[in-house]
């Protein structure tokens, strides 16, 4: 039996019997922006790996258009090609025609989520990922175990088990697990970090869910950079997650609930700084997703830390680093050194 059973929700389906239901299908106007030039193909990792046109941005856009045709159905092959998209958005910046593939894939994924019954295992794995990775408290609870594992090499032994060897998905997940120190369980950023020198203003810093626990050194360095650049940095415990992971998997209702929580948590701040590309891009999409003035204002106030640095120019003293000069390292050394 196929791991994908396609079900069609007649109540919501387009009367012309198209594949997409009538709730926010991939926009035909955006689909028509693609002139099929193929400039995006060399930038697409899934196309490089699978060498199949339908695993390229151009191919997926074609599938989105086919889904609008009368009598079209969502086939298991279509689902596989959409699932293989990493959502890296390398194709968006590569496209000379300005095709908004990001918006297209984000309206396609909830369609699949609503209409495709995935296998029990797939649903269980996805739910497990959402229930763990979007909850920093649960990740903190795991940190001591992960630190112990790092010492004992349990994951390496686990990866060698026959059961794991037979599951490419599990093997890859285990191979990606980072080294997490035990202090990740308790480490917190200060609620307010004062600017160094005359303040340029205040910003709210978005900590992320996985980032704040597993990559807390990066967050600490980002706060030091912002303070060195003259920002008073406010770091709040809430929101626990911006919803990017869930949104990019097509689980729309949960993602929108987290988006609303995030907007509420940062009320009163003119600038929200992110250092995780996924969080930053998701928060910039809230306006389009929620379609409210409040959400659009919020999205307009989101900046990646590098955008903020480039927009306003550097102020902290730079000290060259060999062999590579990195903004975060440079500024953090000038602060802590």
Reading the block at residue 291, the tokens are 């379609």
Return the number of the residue (96 or 268) whose C-beta is nearest ligand SF4: 96
Of 39 and 269, the one with the shorter C-beta distance to ligand SF4 is 39
- Which residues bind to ligand SF4, rule: CB under 6 A? 34-40, 43-46, 57-58, 60, 85-91, 95, 97, 99, 101
CA atoms lying within 13 Å on the CB side of residue 40: 29
- Cβ pair 174, 159 in contact under 8 A: yes
- Find the shortest distance in angstroms from Cβ 33 to ligand SF4: 7
- In the complex with ligand SF4, the residue whose CB is nearer, 113 or 261, is 113
Q: How far is the CB of 63 from ligand SF4 (least distance, A)?
A: 11
Q: How far is the CB of 106 from ligand SF4 (least distance, A)?
A: 10
Whole-Å CA distances, 93 to 34, 40, 44, 52, 65: 14, 9, 11, 21, 21
DSSP state of 182: G
User: Minimum Å distance from CB 85 to ligand SF4?
Assistant: 3
d(CA 87, CA 91) in angstroms, rounded, equals 9
Nearer to ligand SF4, 14 or 102 (CB): 102
Phi, psi for 152 (deg, rounded to 5):
-95, -15
Query: Least Å distance between CB 65 and ligand SF4?
Result: 11
Distance CA(181)–CA(197), nearest Å, equals: 33
Q: Which two tokens stand for residue 65?
A: 């258009």
Nearer to ligand SF4, 92 or 221 (CB): 92
């Amino acid at each position: 039996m196929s791991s994908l059973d396609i079900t069609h929700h007649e109540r919501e389906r387009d009367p012309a019997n198209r594949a997409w239901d009538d709730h926010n299908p991939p926009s035909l106007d955006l689909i028509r922006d693609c002139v099929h030039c193929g400039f995006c193909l060399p930038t697409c990792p899934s196309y490089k790996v699978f060498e199949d046109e339908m695993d390229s941005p151009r191919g997926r856009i074609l599938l989105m258009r086919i889904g609008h045709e009368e009598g079209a159905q969502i086939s298991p092959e279509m689902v596989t090609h959409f699932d293989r998209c990493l959502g890296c958005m390398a194709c968006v910046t590569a496209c000379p025609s300005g095709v908004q593939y990001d918006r297209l894939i984000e309206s396609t994924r909830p369609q699949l989520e609503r209409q495709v019954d995935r296998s029990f295992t797939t649903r269980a794995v996805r739910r497990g990922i959402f229930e763990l990775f979007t909850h920093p408290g649960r990740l903190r609870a795991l940190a001591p175990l992960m630190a112990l594992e790092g010492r004992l090499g349990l994951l390496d032994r686990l990866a060698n088990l026959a059961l794991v060897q037979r599951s490419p998905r599990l093997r890859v997940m285990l191979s990606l697990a980072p080294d997490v120190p035990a202090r990740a369980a308790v480490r917190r950023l200060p609620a307010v970090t004062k600017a160094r020198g005359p303040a340029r203003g205040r910003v709210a810093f978005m900590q992320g869910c996985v980032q704040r626990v597993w990559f807390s050194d990066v967050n600490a360095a980002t706060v030091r950079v912002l303070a060195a650049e003259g920002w008073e940095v406010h770091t709040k415990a809430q929101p626990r997650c911006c919803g990017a992971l869930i949104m990019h998997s097509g689980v729309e209702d949960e993602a929108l609930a987290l988006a609303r929580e995030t907007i509420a948590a940062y009320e009163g701040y003119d600038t929200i700084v992110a250092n995780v590309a996924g969080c930053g891009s998701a928060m910039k999409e809230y306006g389009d997703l929620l379609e409210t003035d409040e959400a659009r204002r919020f999205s307009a106030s989101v900046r990646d830390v590098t955008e903020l640095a480039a927009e306003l120019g550097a102020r902290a003293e730079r000290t060259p680093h060999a062999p590579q000069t990195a903004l975060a390292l440079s500024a953090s050394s000038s602060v802590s050194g």
